[in-house]
Amino acid sequence: MTISEKVAHLKGVMEGMDFDASTKEGKLISLIVDVLADMSDEIDVLTDDVDTLFDYCDELDEDLGEVEEVLFECDDDCDCDCDCDCDCDCDDECDCCHCEEEDK
């Protein structure tokens, strides 16, 4: 049961019993339930915002991953066994980013 559902249930219980909101205690309890309802509404809004931010962060992470692949990964057509951090003596046909710089 969500917080909103619990607050709605609490309001229903108050309405279903002979709750006297005209007494000091009744006014206090009624105000507390109203504040709980307001808090519940705010929590729902914040939860939606957080979910949206998580989705946005996931999209940014995926996009950043694609950018990292373009900037930092070797070309898949490279026939040598090196990676971009190697100091190999590749032939002139090597297309990986590190070896290509050494060949020039």
The encoded tokens of residue 29 equal: 């309890």
Asked if 60 and 18 sit in the same domain, the reply is yes
Asked if 48 and 99 sit in the same domain, the reply is no
Q: Is residue 97 very low, low, confident or very high in pLDDT (cuts 50, 70, 90)?
A: low
Asked if 47 and 14 sit in the same domain, the reply is yes
Give the whole-angstrom CA distance, residue 81 versus residue 96.
10
What would the DSSP string read from start to end of 58-91?
HHHHHHHHHHHHHHHSPPTT--SS--TT------
Asked if 96 and 51 sit in the same domain, the reply is no
Torsions phi, psi for 92 (to 5 deg): -70, -15
Asked if 65 and 80 sit in the same domain, the reply is no
Residue range 44-95, pLDDT digits in tens: 999 999 999 999 999 999 999 999 988 887 555 555 555 555 555 555 555 5
Total count of domains within the chain: 2
Asked if 64 and 15 sit in the same domain, the reply is yes
pTM: 0.57
Q: Classify 15 as helix, strand or coil.
A: helix
Angle at 77 between CA 83 and CA 87, to 5 degrees: 25
Domain assignment of residue 84, given as a range: 76-104
